[in-house]
Amino acid sequence: MAIQWFPGHMHLTKKAIGDRIKNIDVVIELLDARLPGSSANPMLAELTAGKPALKVLNKQDLADPVRTAQWLAHYNAQPGTRAIGLDASVTAPAKALAKACFELAPHRGGNIKPMRVLICGIPNVGKSTLINTLTGKRATKTGDEAGITKLEQRISLADDFYLYDTPGVLWPRIIVAKSGYNLAASGAIGRNAFNEEEVALELLDYLKTHYAPLVEARFKLEGIAAMTDEELLEAIGRKRGALLGGQRVNTQKAGEIAIYDFRAAVMGRITLETPEEFAEWLAAGQKLDAQRQVKKDAIELDRKIRFKKIPRPDSRSPS
């Protein structure tokens, strides 16, 4: 799936994070609890390598609680890392972030050595809502669209606790194809960057395998496991009245309905990946990417030879 998702301000964000990170004590990365692996930014991992990390699985109230527990165990097993689940609109759990940060960096604290925390994450993962909850006021803009925060902000949560907020940032090139679909389904990618019908078909393919009872209950359907993805999308369209002339299903509208119902959690609490699934997708994506790079390098070498940018190898034996 072709997704154009790296606007200019995200280049600036990458630079800002790179400049800021040397003076940061703990990095908080907000993840979407419905797709923790797909919403973990590999570019951020490179920029913040070596810093204590707090992984926050946000929107856990929308996610499958069994799978959330699996993801928390997965991250908590990693060195220098802690993970907690969170619903950013709930005040008490949000305040636990500060405690977790001081546990990760116990040498910080007090006016002489205040805690300096960088909070980052993909667009629309809930950073602004979380910060507003922490401060008890509307410190940042919020919205159900990617890319609301545009500039770095420093927020004082206490005399010895500074939080640096950055715009949501995605990575420039997708390697895990499934992640692209999951990110689009979650709302992390702007609606103009993908096709709703295509994303809905991928979403339904996963749901009918792992969450069939929830889908059947929501749309009053039966036996969806035996349907093709296209048949299921059409059935949803008919149930919800997404019809064109001649009783034809408006599959674009049906796709929008399926995506909206997932985002709003009206089907139930759903998580689109397990740690094991994501590891398999990532390994496959990395292998394919390496193969593509080999082909790209070969093409570039051939181009340089043809245009005499580099000398051809001399096959003659030295005298």
SS3 143: coil
Arithmetic mean of pLDDT, 207-224: 97
Q: Is residue 298 part of a domain?
A: yes
Task: Give the range of the structural domain holding residue 221, as residue numbers without chain letter.
Answer: 195-263
Give tens-digit pLDDT for 284-316: 999 988 888 888 888 877 777 877 655 656 655
Does residue 148 share a domain with residue 58? Answer: yes
pLDDT band at residue 157 under the 50/70/90 scheme: confident
Q: Compute the chain's Rg from CA coordinates.
A: 23
What b/e string do you get for 229-239 counting C-beta neighbours within 10 Å, with b at 16 or more?
Answer: beebbbbbbbe
Residue 184 inside a domain? The answer is no
108 and 56 co-located in one domain: yes
72 & 143 share domain: yes
Answer yes or no: is 200 within a domain: yes
Structure tokens at 137: 């006021």
Report if residue 98 sits inside a domain. yes
Same domain for 215 and 88, yes or no, is no
**Helix runs in 53-148, H state only:** 65-76, 91-104, 127-135
Of 104, 102, 99, 77, the C-alpha closest to 86 is 99
pLDDT at position 79 is 92
For 1-49, the DSSP string reads -------HHHHHHHHHHHHHGGG-SEEEEEEETTSTTTTS-HHHHHHTT
Binned at pLDDT 50, 70 and 90, residue 228 comes out as very high
pLDDT tens digits for range 116-132: 999 988 888 888 888 88
Q: Under 8 Å CB-to-CB from 61, ≥6 apart: which residues?
A: 87, 265, 269
28 plus 128 within the same structural domain: yes
Give me the chain's average pLDDT, please: 85
Residue among 165, 111, 122, 163 nearest 140 (CA):
165
Q: Tokens in use for 232?
A: 């299921």
Instruction: State pTM to two decimals.
Output: 0.84
Q: Are 9 and 167 in contact (CB under 8 A)?
A: yes
Domain check: are 160 and 206 in the same one?
no
